[in-house]
Structure 1
Amino acid sequence: MTQTTNYIVPIAEIIPDLNYSSLISMLNLIGKQTGIAKIKTSRFAWNIFLSGGDIAFIEERNEFFVSLKRKLKIHKLHIRPDILEILAKAPANSLETCHLLGEIYEQDRDVSLIVFKEILLENLLAIALEKNFSLEWRPWTSEPKVILPIWQLSDLENAVAKVVKQWQAFNHVRHPFQTVQLLDTECSISQIPLFAQVTNGKYRISEIADHFQQHISRTALKLDKLAENRTVAILPLPKRSPAINPRDSEQESEIISELSHRRSGSPKVMIVDDSPVLLKQFGDLLTSWGYQLILINDSAQATQKMLSEKPAVVFMDINMPNLNGFELLKQIRRQPTLAATPLVLVTSENSITNNFRAKWASCRFLSKPHTANDIKDFREQVRAVLQELAPLP
């Protein structure tokens, strides 16, 4: 069946600056066409497969296969290894992906329906909680023969709208793709191995829900309450690169080049923390200010790296495996060439004991932000420390 070329939505043209309502309106305007709607925000990117104007599945780039494989395992749907192997290598938004998903669906329609719907609704929730979108519509010239469950856009929109209201009422949780960092390692829930495993700053709330086999909103509600009690911190979402609008890429490259030139004469700042998420977020902040960065996720390597790189100041976590912050501090101070290097202990445990031990060791002490409201104060404290200890030229 050949499709008409008379489209209301422009083909292969990026439409920027859409809010969620206008995005849904644009998807509705596509009508009964079949193809891929590419959606981007400043943080994430999705491919939505539309079949006859309705949604068959949503693929979050770089995460779709991981999420699919995890959910298939949870629901005990055993797929032929060759299908998963091919699917892992299939290009994003390809017709091959659609056919492979169709094969999975044919193997067990009931279980596949549950898995596909979970992925679809989680991604629609994530999209609904974003703000600024770009849309690119790419129809297929002929109707592909793919067997997949199809959901009407209006039904999905209504189902997600109810969940969005619940999420917007949370005090700390904002998005299903946020990660969670355990703060209170002495509380009873932290003694549960699975909980400690998924609250190390690496697992999304959607992943945590899967590990506990709970509805994502129920998991979010519990985490929101734990964040209120400062048992955990709900970490901010990272930025995605490159920018939404590709027309900005040339200008962005010039800016990056200029910043790199400026940083070549800027002070080096080392950050030592075992959390990749916190390393990236803290690192992105200092990079935006113009500092050269040295990021260390293994505290046992920090002293040797300091000897070779000679940073102007070092920010270090206290609770780290292999070598905690105080042990690392002693190791650093034993090195004559590092004895005068400014050290700043950064921890979620703002206790009198930790403050005293930091002062005793001639270190600064900063408390990690527990909530989104604390982030501004934390940034101001970091900036003040850097202006004093490692001012920019």
Structure 2
Amino acid sequence: MMTSAPNRNEAFFSQLNLYSQQQFTGRLDIQLVTGQQWGLYLSLGNLVWATEGLHPVRRFRRQLASTLPKVNPKAISPRQSDFFECWDYHALALLVQRNLAQTDDVVEIARGLIAEVLFDLLQAIEIAAVTQQIAQFYEKPRDRGESVEEFRTASTFKIKPKLGARPSSKDLGIFPRSRSWDIELALSGTQKVWEKWSQMGLALYSPNLAPVIKKSEQLQAKASPSTYKNLVALIDGRRTMRDISVLLKKDLVGVCQSLLPYIRRQLIGLVEVPDLPNPYQSYCDLAREATPTAERVPTFDSSPDRPCIVCIDDSPRVCKAMEKLLTGAGYRFIGIQEAIQALPTLLQHKPDVIFLDLMMPIANGYEICSQIRRVSNLKDTPVIILTSQDGLVDRVRAKVVGATDFLTKPADKQKLLDIARKYATGGSNEQSAKARSS
């Protein structure tokens, strides 16, 4: 029997906690030595989404049916113009956008989805570690003197960060900061479930396996008539253990514990089953092939003798209003609603002034300003912070990361034009350097 070994996950937990402490925003790509891949999305160090693992469609349908049984999955099909990395995250966002669910319902579904992914990830790391130890034990010469501890701590995974990546290109407000998850708490909670699962002797068995009756007559002889009747109705080789637990509205560990005596006697077997067809696959393919950057970063006048002003703000309404005002005043204007596109677009267009929103869903204004100041071609470009929180702490922090000036939202039109005129001149770089040093 394979028992729990929390130390195998200790290195993994430590690395994730480090990203959390650094307030990382983006995707962490996790690859195991077995070739399995996973993705964890963080926003300011908190967990907002998790992907990969077995049965993503079953997982989504299961959690949706558990919380919102009356919602037809077809009602949340994306539009062909939508751009996203994670169809399931985007589908939840559409539930809120189309008034099919309250935010609390969607957050509950998300918690269930993330919990399943984290459990599968921890189990995969555990199995990969054991597999690697066995392989190393037989492959390495015995006279090298490797200790058991060296086998136990051998690396079984790699983490590759992708800054600024997010599940969907649209911020539909389903995960405000107050409802994202502390990654340490999420992992410790999942670890407790995994330990309980492992102590039951199920560590090598995925909850994504489907129970199937192998010896009907012997099972009927061992179980009571009512239990046998229930087992025959539930166990058809097509429902996974997770599917059954949701169908019965019972705890997964409890359901599996009740099946365990029959599994050990080999009266019930566990078999692999395929995922359900993904009705969003065609939309996923379109989203991957789409090139929305040009659509989201419009250039209205390429004349080089007109000062260029960039606004980085995730709100389409703000960008549209600034576009109308500034182009009407004779400036070239570029609106950037995706934080991940900020630096490439700034390097391409070399703006005279940058207006930067402070509060954005993936990378906030402080992070982007710091990135801008690390680029030699942009280190003296005026950066004007836009925020609705006009506090002393915000102003001090903005100065620390290299901001040139501060403008409170909603910005008065005349003030916005005045500040644009102040910095969008031939001497703007000099003014910016002086402003930041003052």
Structure number with greater Rg is 2
Query: Normalized against structure 2, the TM-score is what?
Result: 0.43
Query: Normalized against structure 1, the TM-score is what?
Result: 0.47
Looking at both structures, which has the greater relative contact order when contacts are Cα pairs under 8 Å and sequence separation is at least 6?
Answer: 2
